[in-house]
Structure 1
Amino acid sequence: MPSLPSLGLRNRAARGIARAVAAPTPSPAYVIDCGVYVDGVRLPGTWSHSAAIEEVRARGTGFVWIGLHEPDEGQLNVLAETFGLHELAVEDAVHAHQRPKLERYDDTLFMVLKTVRYIANEKLTANSEIVESGELMAFVGREFVITVRHGRHASLGQVRAQLELDPEQLRLGPAAVLHGIADHVVDTYLEVTEAIQDDIDEMEAAVFAPRTRLEAEQIYLMKREVLELRRAVMPLAKPLQRLSEGYTPLVPEEVRSYFRNVEDHLTTVSERVASFDELLTTLVDATLAKITLQQNTDMRKISAWVAIVSTPTMIAGIYGMNFDVMPELGWKFGYPATLLVMLGACVTLFKIFRRNKWL
């Protein structure tokens, strides 16, 4: 992903940007971070959400970026009153379990993204989890960005730090933050697909290697996890396309091209996920065919041994009927001759089956 040009800080303190007063009220525990950004530079101090937006409105420039982690309805309603968030979007952000989407409420954008994380497993079982998913919601207005994160992963601390190192990008406003978040999420998709590709390559090698036993349940499990990834990736294409096409004036022309780049990366991920699904279906068919072939081989071996054992059993059964008049009953060589016939028949059948590769 190309980065926007950065012009450095250029002695912003001399331009009067560093005027900031620390808020008297500390941030609640569910607030991960709250920062005020003016002309691409974060103002020093610890801010409450109300003090932060007041500072921005008093200056008439800049924006607030607030990061939340799994707030409840009451906690998010406090911010909704201050920033004018729509009640339907607030409800979605609290309860999560949403598909990726983009909605516009008056002068506010509400975007939902699915986050994913790859979990390595030494051995796959029915309870194994390969792709752990979470959710990330973003409220974007002219003066603020509010992110709500659900799940134990997908922290935005790295995104915030990278953006703060590039004041020229932050100067573009909340839309640049939304781009940074979407870019980060799609980059994690790429990382997860690369890890899954390695797992599928190992499965493919095991399926087509001789004398290996790979249970079909393991492939079905991988297919289930790929579907989980697909539910996160595929619906995001439409929101990114709308952002890149000027869906809202909140996204300036300078940022739209960067959303198009993220959309291209998402297309790459979508193609990989689709190929995973097709390849896993092929591996399932190959595994079932291999199991069927193994079963046929086992049945041939069983049939061969049954034929070998049935020959002496038949002879012993005939001579065990204890009739008074039977051939060779009175012959003194009858017993050893019968044993030799049994042994000869078994050896002959064994050689025939071995030559035909049944044994």
Structure 2
Amino acid sequence: MINAYSLNGSMKSLVPTDGLKHVPADIVWLDLVDPTAQEDAYVETLLGISIPTRDDLKDIEPSSRLYVEKDSVFMTASLVWRADGDDPQLTDVAFILTGGLLVTVRYAEPKSFKLFIAALGRGEPTGDGLTMLGRLLETIADRTAEILEHTVDRIDTLSTDIFRDRGKRRPPQFLEGKLAEISETHRLVSKVRDSLGSLSRLLTFLINVPIVHKKETEGSLCRTVAHDVETLSEHASFIAGNIAFLLDASLGLINVEQNAIIKIFSIASVVFLPPTLVASIYGMNFQFMPELNWHLGYPLAILCMMLSAIIPFFFFRWKGWL
């Protein structure tokens, strides 16, 4: 699908059969959403440039993601997609500046694009393609900041659930469930950090493009967004450190709980070992055992077994091991 956005923010769809030989002058943004081969060829004919395919976007070489060709600037960045769900992913998006026009090629629906298009729908002035790109990157940075804010809230909730009411013993299964949530949060933050690194490289490249130097307002906007991305990267690193601490603490608490269980079994074994020894002695079937003829032999053996169990128990209590 090809969506075209004009100077006043209005949208219309372009199809390969609409008979256009060139892009209308009032169009500043062409948004190719999951384009077909026919739509790629149509836009290439209109603009005289090569549109990156899905396989081209997956190329990780800097020379394939950031380059200038025939006065057209080609940039590719990885954006976080489905961050609000259980399976966050990265999707590669191409940004092309050519002849004062912005062209984007994407095969997913990042929320940042929806937010930006909604803002255009309110009739806000857009400017040329470079201005549109700067504002779009600003929206992407704002959306990334929102994801990190939600992640911080999620970490606070996890921390509260794990560390509150420490006087109350909890089964290891509870903490193991929290480990799964910590893992999901860590995966999301990792995706965000990868996305921010990609955006940082894109903005560094864009700021040094000659077309940006000629426009002070757009250049200032790009530099502001680059500073925001750098700040968000530092914040994401701080969040990743908190997640690592939470993970280590959870594993430590699980070990403490498991050690407490093992300690109970160990103490039980030590407490019942002396009575077992007494019972084993008098359970032997030798013919000459003087105690077998005692009238009080049975109650004395029982008393001996009870004392041999009670004395270690109170000794452990006195030592504070129970």
Taking structure 1 as the reference length, what is the TM-score of the superposition? 0.75
Superposed displacement of residue 160, structure 1: 3.9
Match in the other structure for 2:210: 248
Once residues 279 and 355 of structure 1 are traced to their aligned partners in structure 2, the CA distance between those partners, rounded to angstroms, is 39
Flag structure 2 segments of 5+ consecutive residues without an equivalent. none
Spell out the pairing of 1:43-192 with structure 2 (5 A cutoff). Answer: 51=20, 53-56=22-25, 62-86=26-50, 90-91=52-53, 93=54, 96-97=57-58, 101-117=65-81, 119=83, 128-129=86-87, 131-154=88-111, 156-163=113-120, 165-167=123-125, 170-171=126-127, 173-192=128-147
Residue 105 of structure 2 aligns with an amino acid whose one-letter code is V
Match in the other structure for 1:14: none
Once residues 268 and 102 of structure 1 are traced to their aligned partners in structure 2, the CA distance between those partners, rounded to angstroms, is 22
Match in the other structure for 1:34: 4
| Change in 2 beyond 3 A, CA 1:326/1:54 | closer
Superposed displacement of residue 81, structure 1: 2.2
Superposed displacement of residue 259, structure 1: 0.9
| Change in 2 beyond 3 A, CA 1:198/1:145 | same
Once residues 357 and 149 of structure 1 are traced to their aligned partners in structure 2, the CA distance between those partners, rounded to angstroms, is 64
Once residues 188 and 13 of structure 2 are traced to their aligned partners in structure 1, the CA distance between those partners, rounded to angstroms, is 41
Once residues 84 and 29 of structure 2 are traced to their aligned partners in structure 1, the CA distance between those partners, rounded to angstroms, is 33
CA contact (8 A) 1:67 1:146 kept: yes
CA contact (8 A) 2:206 2:212 kept: no
Flag structure 1 segments of 5+ consecutive residues without an equivalent. 1-29, 57-61, 122-127
Superposed displacement of residue 44, structure 1: 9.1
Once residues 282 and 108 of structure 1 are traced to their aligned partners in structure 2, the CA distance between those partners, rounded to angstroms, is 46
Match in the other structure for 1:278: 241
Match in the other structure for 1:342: 305
Once residues 34 and 254 of structure 2 are traced to their aligned partners in structure 1, the CA distance between those partners, rounded to angstroms, is 47
Deviations 1:300-354 (A, max 9, x none): 2111100122121111111111112113211111001111111122122222223
Once residues 205 and 269 of structure 2 are traced to their aligned partners in structure 1, the CA distance between those partners, rounded to angstroms, is 70
Once residues 254 and 13 of structure 2 are traced to their aligned partners in structure 1, the CA distance between those partners, rounded to angstroms, is 64
Q: Please, which of 275, 290, 297 is the counterpart of residue 312 of structure 1?
A: 275
Equivalent residue of 1:322, what SS? coil
Superposed displacement of residue 217, structure 1: 4.5
Match in the other structure for 1:266: 229
Q: Which has the higher helix share?
A: 2
Superposed displacement of residue 222, structure 1: 2.8
Superposed displacement of residue 75, structure 1: 2.3
Superposed displacement of residue 263, structure 1: 1.2
Taking structure 2 as the reference length, what is the TM-score of the superposition? 0.83
| Change in 2 beyond 3 A, CA 1:248/1:63 | farther
Q: What percent of counterpart residues are identical?
A: 24
CA contact (8 A) 1:117 1:188 kept: no
Q: Which moved more, 1:254-263 or 1:69-78?
A: 69-78
* Structure 1 position 292 matched with structure 2 position 230: no
